[in-house]
Structure 1
Amino acid sequence: MYLLVLCTCPDTKAAELISRALVEEKLAACVNIMPGITSVYRWQGNVEFDTEVQLLIKTASEKYSLLEEKIKNLHPYETPEIIALNIQQGDKHYLNWITESLKENS
């Protein structure tokens, strides 16, 4: 099964650091970095508005635990957003590319 993992970062520097590590370590096939999103959330009793960078991470379910651990180790937030969504359907060539990109010996 394939996953789309969402993760917000405080800035491009953190987003690039996490993205590079995930792809280099074959925990993700691809990460899209989407700058300039506005997040509205409750934190420590206050409603916060922040500009953040959204990561869209494509991976396989068997890589999720290691991917989550790597994000937590690199992320500057105390509680980073790490949400995995199952990819129900997709182009078979793209999904095969994800599989090939995550192989240890490729």
Structure 2
Amino acid sequence: MEPLLVLTNVPDVAVADKLAHALIESRAAACVNVLAACRSIYRWRGAVETADEIPMLIKTTAASWPQVEAIVRAHHPYEVPELVAVPMTHGLPAYLAWLAKETEKHD
């Protein structure tokens, strides 16, 4: 099992809640943290933009990555959403076992 921490930002809490529920209900993720709003400053199409966004931390596995990507694309309103995964190289064994169990596919 290869655990991943996936990062994304969405425009508001309503989108964050909808996305988080879709990820958990489908077992694509074991846990999603919806964080407090932040200000993002970035370059988009040649202009410097500023946006208030809601950061999200998605705990999942490499095996579930395709499903996470598909769900984020389906629920994310941005043309090009931020969606990056960072491998979890260390973690409390009991937590990582729970993460693996919660992302198992049940037919």
The normalised TM-score by structure 2 is 0.95
Counterpart residue number, 2:29: 28
Q: Which blocks of at least 5 consecutive residues in structure 1 are unaligned?
A: none
Which letter maps to 2:73? K
Is 1:51 paired with 2:52? Answer: yes
Distance 1:91 1:40 in 2: 34
TM-score by length of 1: 0.96
Q: Kindly, what percent of the aligned residue pairs are identical? A: 37
Q: CA deviation at 1:69?
A: 1.0
Q: How many residues align?
A: 106
Give the Cα–Cα distance (whole angstroms) in 2 for the partners of residues 8 and 41 of structure 1. Answer: 13
> After TM superposition, which residue ranges in structure 1, 4 or more long, deviate above 6 angstroms?
none
Structure 2 residues without counterparts, runs of 5 or longer: none
How far 1:31 sits from its partner (Å)? 0.3
User: Is residue 82 from structure 1 mapped to residue 53 from structure 2 by the alignment?
Assistant: no
User: How far is 1:99 from its partner?
Assistant: 0.7
The structure with more strand, counted as a fraction of residues: 1
Matched-pair contact (CA < 8 Å) for 1:12–1:35: no
Any idea what the Cα deviations from partners look like across 1:2-58, whole Å, max 9, x if unmatched? 000001000000011100000000000000001211111011111111110000000
Matching residue's letter, 1:74: H
The RMSD of aligned alpha carbons is: 1.2
Partner amino acid for 2:30?
Answer: A
Q: Does 1:2 align with 2:6?
A: no
